[in-house]
Amino acid sequence: MKHCIKRCLIAACIVAVASTSAVAQVTPAAGYTPPDDTPKFNIGATIFADFTYQDSPKTKDADGNNINTSAFNVSRAYINVTGNISHNVSFRVTPDITRFATTNTNLPAGESVSTSLDGSLTFRLKYAYGQFNMDEKWASKGSWVRLGVHHTPYVDWLEQVYRYRFQGQIMAERDGFISSSDAGVSTHYNFPGNFGDIHGGYYNGETYSKPEVNDEKAIQARVSFRPVPMAGVLKGLRLTAFYDADHYAQDDARKRTIYTATFEHKYANAGFEHLDATDQVNAAAAEVKATGWSAWATPRFPKGWEALLRYDDVKPNKNVDASKKRSIAGVAYWFHTLQAPATAAMLLDYEHVEYDNIIDPVTTLPKLNETRYAVHTLFNF
């Protein structure tokens, strides 16, 4: 009897230990999946190619003949290298192309310098940054901190709604008021409930294409707000404010303020932006206040067809009766792709730029109106 009881107790202990071991193995596997910290990288590309015919003004060729210029162009060729070092640390490196030209600055009159690269398309650095993702423990999903040459808060955000940078930049960048990239540090935070986001940064202020030349820095911030993020059609409405506080030198202001309303829907995207700018390039120069606005819409039709309608109105100096007006109209076809970010599109467009009392700084003569017809293409993968 004693031996039987002893054997039963031993068997019970073995079963208990085995059960405990099984629980210890199953519970963590079922309730917790460790993050993937395997380093990885991806390579992609973005290409903007076009054929542009200039209807006016006419120019002269080497023999003095009046001609309408036309050309095949590649205005952008990005090689995008992106990846993750761990689940919360990522990076991006993107070179861009630009047309190389030798500068004649500080040369005696009548002298010039040329190199074999003149006129060539050369690569320069557009983006190179590291990113620390904060959406695991410290903030909402999509929140991060970036350091390096990276996106400024406004341009890239708006172009995700506008989508037609391959035709031309948005008004604020195209007319030289702001840039899409600069060297600095910035942070991004998504508001809970899809109510919007905020992106603010501390940048050199000279843009990615120029070196820092002084001790001044630009403070840039954008706040976007969805008033009714869950209310049917109105959830596509966003109201945005952007501010850029910078200086050319101490007390020489370089400031921009932009107010924007955008609307996104499966049948159309649309936007309106208003800009005010203040510039004083040095202490001896007068302070210049500029203003401008842009309105655009991209109605969508079945089977990939889409229209582009846009109008810009810029007044370079509020105190001078001169303005620049840009009209753009086009028809686009967006090819069907199975997985983002793979994208391909073709746009046939018309662009007219009217200069009202604008003086060309090179010729010191009134600028002539411009009319262009083009076929623009986008390839992104």
Q: What is the largest CA-CA distance in the chain?
A: 122
- CA atoms of 144 and 186, how far apart (whole Å): 8
* Share of residues in the chain with pLDDT > 90 (%): 75
Structure tokens of 11? 């068997």
Q: Return the C-alpha torsion angle 260, 265, 267, 273, nearest 10.
A: 0
The structural domains of the chain, with segments of one domain joined by +, span 38-59+69-101+115-380
What average pLDDT does the chain have? Answer: 89
CA R_g for the chain: 28
Q: 123 falls in which pLDDT band (50, 70, 90)?
A: confident
Cα–Cα distances in angstroms (integers) from residue 302 to residues 73, 128, 266, 298, 327, in the given order: 30, 38, 11, 13, 25
Fold of 38-59+69-101+115-380: Porin (2.40.160)
Judge whether 290 and 279 are in contact, CB under 8 Å: yes
Structure tokens of 95? 């070179």
**Three-state secondary structure string covering 130-176:** EEEECCCCCCCCCCEEEEEEEECCCHHHHHHHHCCCCCCCCHHHHCC
In order, the DSSP letters of 219-233 are EEEEEEE-S-TTSGG
According to the model, what pLDDT value does residue 26 have? 42
42 backbone φψ class: left, alpha, beta (φ>0; ψ -120 to 50): beta
**Closest to 228 (Cα-Cα) out of 193, 259, 262:** 193
Q: pLDDT tens, 235-284?
A: 999 999 999 999 999 999 999 999 999 999 999 999 999 999 999 999 99
Structure tokens of 5? 């009881």
According to the model, what pLDDT value does residue 11 have? 45
Does position 136 have pLDDT exceeding 70, yes or no? no
Structure tokens of 260? 């924007």
Q: pLDDT tens, 154-163?
A: 999 999 999 9
Does position 31 have pLDDT exceeding 90, yes or no? no
Q: What angle (nearest 5°) sits at the alpha carbon of residue 212, between those of residues 176 and 94?
A: 70
- CA atoms of 278 and 256, how far apart (whole Å): 7
Judge whether 151 and 173 are in contact, CB under 8 Å: no
Does position 34 have pLDDT exceeding 60, yes or no? yes
Q: Summarize the confidence of residues 123-129 as an average pLDDT.
A: 94
Q: Worst-scoring range by mean pLDDT, 89-103, 120-134, 149-163?
A: 89-103
**Closest to 152 (Cα-Cα) out of 98, 247, 222:** 222
Task: Measure CA 280 to chain center.
Answer: 26
Q: Summarize the confidence of residues 167-182 as an average pLDDT.
A: 97
* Share of residues in the chain with pLDDT > 70 (%): 87
According to the model, what pLDDT value does residue 105 have? 55
**Kind and range of the H or E run holding 30:** helix 2-31
**Kind and range of the H or E run holding 243:** strand 237-249
Phi, psi of 9 (to 5 degrees): -65, -40
Q: pLDDT tens, 295-354?
A: 999 999 999 999 999 999 999 999 999 999 999 999 999 999 888 889 999 999 999 999
Does position 118 have pLDDT exceeding 80, yes or no? no
DSSP-derived secondary structure letter, 107: P
Q: Summarize the confidence of residues 43-58 as an average pLDDT.
A: 96
